[in-house]
């Protein structure tokens, strides 16, 4: 059983040594523990610090691509390096390394394929009262949208089995935390949660500049991912709402037509009701088309899962026959841009 602990980093030369020092060296039920640092275009000495502290694997992104892409680069690399379990933690030492054993326990016991660390936000000292309330509200929304019972949806302290990691496909470039939970719920991945503790704050969050910005981007991510997995339900509800508004307007016209003045001077209501009901019907039809596209997406994701599984199994067979290199460092270059 091989565990890889991945740490997405952006200019973490000061905090990374503290984070690495807290990581466990041995866990019952785990044969190997390796570390993986994903450098998201850092401009400081993060990579040098990682090398100096004996990090097993380093993935370097040429420029800053965002937390979601750095996370997926780590998941992809972890699978290629033969991980049976991948734990994601932060480079700012927000989470306690001693909790990793508790975090992966449900996976080792075969009770879950994905486990989220519950920070118990009420106990996080450096969270403001409004942030705690917003965290709870956001987690409540994600629970209802995803059909899961994760109490802390924004927590980045997570463990994934090999099977769950192979099925992950992140679309958002903002953050992976909300999307992966919704995906897990819609893909019927066994998801659990355990209570974890947090360390004191070493730096400010780099994920968002303000709470309104975080709320806006989080709502956008939730709506986008939910619509992607439940298009028919989403568009039919919107279409029904618009159609109902048009129907109510038509009742107003009929009232004036039969009981007041024969509808004189109320032709605008008739036109408005016709437009609203037509638009509502068309939105419902869009839902049907989107549902067909969603079916194709599920088939494509299944094919992608099979391709990934074949690729990873082939790599493991090749490594077992040729021997495994202890340390790896890869660099993902920025795609070439056309110069005018």
* Residues 90, 157 contacting (CB under 8 angstroms): yes
How confident is the model at residue 331, as a pLDDT?
63
How confident is the model at residue 329, as a pLDDT?
65
Q: Per DSSP, what are the bridge partners of residue 329?
A: 58
How confident is the model at residue 32, as a pLDDT?
94
* Residues 153, 177 contacting (CB under 8 angstroms): yes
The pair of three-digit structure tokens given for residue 83, joined into one six-digit string: 């991980």
Question: C-alpha distances in angstroms, 249 versus 92, 255, 265, 296?
Answer: 57, 10, 14, 38
Q: Where are the domains of the chain?
A: 2-229, 231-299
- pLDDT tens per residue, range 66-88: 888 999 999 999 999 999 999 99
Nearest residue to 146 via CA among 215, 225, 233 = 225
Query: What DSSP string describes 98-147?
Result: GGHHHHHHHHHTTS-SEEEEE--GGG-TTS-HHHHHHHHHHHHHHHHHHT
How confident is the model at residue 213, as a pLDDT?
77
| 311 SS3 class | helix
The pair of three-digit structure tokens given for residue 142, joined into one six-digit string: 């994600």
| DSSP 8-state symbol, 86 | E
Longest dimension (CA), the chain: 90
CA dist., res. 218 & res. 337, Å (int)? 30
Q: Identify the burial level of 85 via C-beta atoms within 10 angstroms of its C-beta, where 0-12 means exposed, 13-18 middle and 19 or more buried.
A: buried
Which residue stretches of the chain are H helix? 16-22, 46-52, 67-80, 100-108, 129-146, 162-167, 177-186, 211-229, 231-255, 267-322
pTM of the model: 0.83
Phi, psi of 78 (to 5 degrees): -60, -40
* Residues 228, 256 contacting (CB under 8 angstroms): no
CA dist., res. 314 & res. 302, Å (int)? 18
Query: What DSSP string describes 249-291?
Result: HHHHHHHIIIIISTTTT-HHHHHHHHHHHHHHHHHHHHHHHHH
Give the full edge-to-edge strand order of the sheet including 114-118.
191-195, 114-118, 158-161, 85-88, 2-9, 32-40, 57-61, 328-332
Assigned CATH topology for domain 2-229: Spore Coat Polysaccharide Biosynthesis Protein SpsA; Chain A (3.90.550)
How confident is the model at residue 332, as a pLDDT?
62
How confident is the model at residue 209, as a pLDDT?
63
How confident is the model at residue 166, as a pLDDT?
94
Which residues of the chain have a pLDDT value below 50? Answer: 333-340
CA dist., res. 172 & res. 219, Å (int)? 12
- pLDDT tens per residue, range 124-163: 887 888 888 888 998 999 999 999 999 999 899 999 999 9
Side-chain half-sphere exposure of 213, counting CA atoms within 13 A: 8
How confident is the model at residue 335, as a pLDDT?
37
How far does CA 183 lie from the centroid of its chain? 8
């Amino acid at each position: 059983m091989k565990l890889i602990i991945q740490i997405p980093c952006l200019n973490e030369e000061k905090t990374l040594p503290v984070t690495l020092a807290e990581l466990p060296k041995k866990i019952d039920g785990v044969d190997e523990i390796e570390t993986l640092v994903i450098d998201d275009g850092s401009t400081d000495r993060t990579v040098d610090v990682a090398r100096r502290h004996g990090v097993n694997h380093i993935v370097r992104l040429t420029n800053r691509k965002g937390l979601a892409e750095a996370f997926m680069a780590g998941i992809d690399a972890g699978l290629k390096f033969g991980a049976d379990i991948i734990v994601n933690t932060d480079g700012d030492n927000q989470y306690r390394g001693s909790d990793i054993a508790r975090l992966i326990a449900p996976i080792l016991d075969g009770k879950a394929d994905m486990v989220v660390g519950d920070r118990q936000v009420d106990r996080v000292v450096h969270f403001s009262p409004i942030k705690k309330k917003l965290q709870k509200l956001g987690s409540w929304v994600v629970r209802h949208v995803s059909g899961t019972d994760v109490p802390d949806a924004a927590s980045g302290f997570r463990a994934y089995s090999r099977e769950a990691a192979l099925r992950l496909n992140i679309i958002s470039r903002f953050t992976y935390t909300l999307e992966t939970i919704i995906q897990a719920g819609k893909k019927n991945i066994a998801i659990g949660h355990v209570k974890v503790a947090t360390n004191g704050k070493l730096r400010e969050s780099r994920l968002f500049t303000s709470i309104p910005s975080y709320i806006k981007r989080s709502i956008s991510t939730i709506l986008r991912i939910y619509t992607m997995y439940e298009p028919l339900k989403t568009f039919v509800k919107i279409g029904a709402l618009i159609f109902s508004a048009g129907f109510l307007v038509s009742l107003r016209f009929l009232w004036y037509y039969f009981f007041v003045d024969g509808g004189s001077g109320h032709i605008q209501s008739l036109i408005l009701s016709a437009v609203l009901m037509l638009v509502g019907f068309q939105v419902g039809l869009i839902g049907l088309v989107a549902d067909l596209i969603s079916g194709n997406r599920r088939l494509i994701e299944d094919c992608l899962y099979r391709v990934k599984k074949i690729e990873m199994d082939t790599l493991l067979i090749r490594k077992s026959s040729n021997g495994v290199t202890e340390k790896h460092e890869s660099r993902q270059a920025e795609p070439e841009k056309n110069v005018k």
